[in-house]
Amino acid sequence: MLKRVTAAMHERFEKMRNELKLTDQQTTSVRTILDETRNEYRTLRTELRPRFEEPRMKARARIRALLTPEQQQKFDALVAQQDAQHDEGQNRVVERFSPSFLVLASSSIASEIYRFGAWFQNFCNYQTL
Dump pLDDT digits (tens) for 38-67. 889 888 888 887 887 888 889 999 999 999
Q: What is the pTM of this model?
A: 0.48
Side chain identity, residue 124: C
Mean pLDDT along residues 23-42: 90
The count of C-alpha atoms lying within 13 angstroms of the C-alpha of 116, restricted to the half-sphere facing its C-beta, is 8
For residue 126, the model assigns a pLDDT of 47
**The pLDDT of residue 118:** 58
Q: Can you tell me the distance from the alpha carbon of 33 to that of 64, in angstroms, rounded to the nearest whole number?
A: 46
76-102: pLDDT as tens digits: 999 888 888 876 665 454 445 555 454
Query: Residue 99 in contact with residue 29, Cβ under 8 Å?
Result: no
